[in-house]
């Protein structure tokens, strides 16, 4: 059931336009029944992913988790010290998710680690109270730069290549693989090392993602939930990149990628 729900989220996001930086002008759908907006994330896309992950894993704790994110935002705004804000946030999440093993041992450490890994710029901007339009412009420029780099590596005249949808589908599908392993023993994350190498013991670079943030997110989630599937999942991402490089068609590449993930989730290596 969880896999079906995650896949439903995937196919919803692939039909959506590119999501922009979060702002106070977000749609009314961002609000819960009590009028409280979801605050976990840095932009509309990451907020969408985090909210759906919590709704799938521990919906009864959603309000508690959101309160931690709101307090963290306020702590940054008040410039109470990034280390203090992040540690308080992690402690808040640990308490808030006690009612769910998967949220307490997987999602809370993941959210905590992402803040510790990527929070520096957010803290700086909160302190400078950067104008919202300027912030959005900066973020969109970052997205444009990443898009340009990825597109250049997959340069072609193939008109059916859709970068934005591919980014969303790739990350969501990797998370879908994780979601079907809840019956397996949970591997608790012990620490988040900021200097962690991108290479594994066999010198194979992690390929699931398009930038530091998405690669970190997918890799950490795999390592926490199903580390024994990590190599197989990574091979799917590598094959998907090669398929795009060889211009074999987006539909074919994406369908093959999905089949590869399905096989990898069973602990097998995909062969064609």
Q: What is the pLDDT of residue 162?
A: 56
Is 129 part of a structural domain of the chain?
yes
Is 43 part of a structural domain of the chain?
yes
Is 270 part of a structural domain of the chain?
no
User: How confident is the model over 158-213, as pLDDT tens digits?
Assistant: 555 555 555 555 555 455 444 433 333 333 332 333 334 345 555 678 888 776 77
Is 269 part of a structural domain of the chain?
no
Is 271 part of a structural domain of the chain?
no
Which tops the pLDDT comparison, 10 or 47? Answer: 47
Tokens of 35: 């009028």
Residue 21 pairs with which residues in a beta bridge? 43
Is 149 part of a structural domain of the chain?
yes
Is 143 part of a structural domain of the chain?
yes
Distance CA 23, CA 148 (A): 25
Mean per-residue pLDDT of the chain: 69
Among 5-19, 41-55, 204-218, 222-236, the range scoring the smallest mean pLDDT is 5-19
Is 272 part of a structural domain of the chain?
no
Distance CA 271, CA 254 (A): 15
Q: How many domains does the chain have?
A: 1
Per the listing, tokens 């799938």 go with: 56
Domain that holds residue 56: 2-264
Q: What is the pLDDT of residue 145?
A: 52
244 pLDDT band (50/70/90 cuts)? confident
User: How confident is the model over 245-271, as pLDDT tens digits?
Assistant: 888 888 888 888 888 888 887 776 666
Question: Does pLDDT of 20 surpass 80?
Answer: no
User: How confident is the model over 31-48, as pLDDT tens digits?
Assistant: 555 668 899 987 777 788
């Amino acid at each position: 059931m969880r896999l079906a729900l995650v896949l439903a989220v995937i196919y919803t996001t692939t039909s959506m336009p590119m999501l922009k930086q979060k702002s106070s002008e977000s749609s009314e759908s961002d609000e819960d029944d009590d009028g409280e907006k979801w605050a976990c994330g840095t932009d509309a896309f990451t907020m969408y992913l985090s909210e759906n992950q919590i709704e799938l894993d521990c919906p009864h704790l959603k309000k508690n988790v959101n309160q931690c994110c709101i307090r963290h935002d306020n702590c940054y705004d008040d410039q109470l010290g990034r280390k203090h804000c992040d540690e308080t946030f992690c402690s808040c999440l640990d308490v808030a998710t006690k009612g769910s093993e998967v949220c307490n041992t997987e999602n809370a450490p993941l959210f905590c680690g992402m803040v510790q890994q990527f929070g520096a710029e957010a803290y700086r901007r909160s302190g400078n109270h950067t104008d919202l339009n300027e912030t959005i412009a900066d973020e969109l420029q970052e997205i444009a730069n990443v898009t340009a780099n990825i597109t250049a590596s997959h340069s072609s005249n193939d008109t059916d290549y859709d970068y934005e949808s591919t980014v969303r589908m790739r990350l969501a599908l990797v998370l879908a693989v994780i979601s079907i392993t809840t019956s397996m023993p949970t591997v608790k994350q012990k620490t988040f090392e900021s200097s962690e190498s991108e290479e594994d013991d066999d010198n194979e670079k992690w390929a699931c993602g398009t930038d530091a943030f998405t690669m970190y997110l997918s890799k950490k989630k795999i390592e926490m939930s199903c580390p024994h599937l990590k190599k197989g999942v990574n091979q799917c991402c590598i094959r998907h990149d090669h398929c795009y490089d060889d211009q074999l068609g987006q539909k074919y590449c994406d369908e093959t990628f999905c089949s590869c993930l399905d096989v990898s989730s069973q602990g097998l290596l995909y062969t064609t």
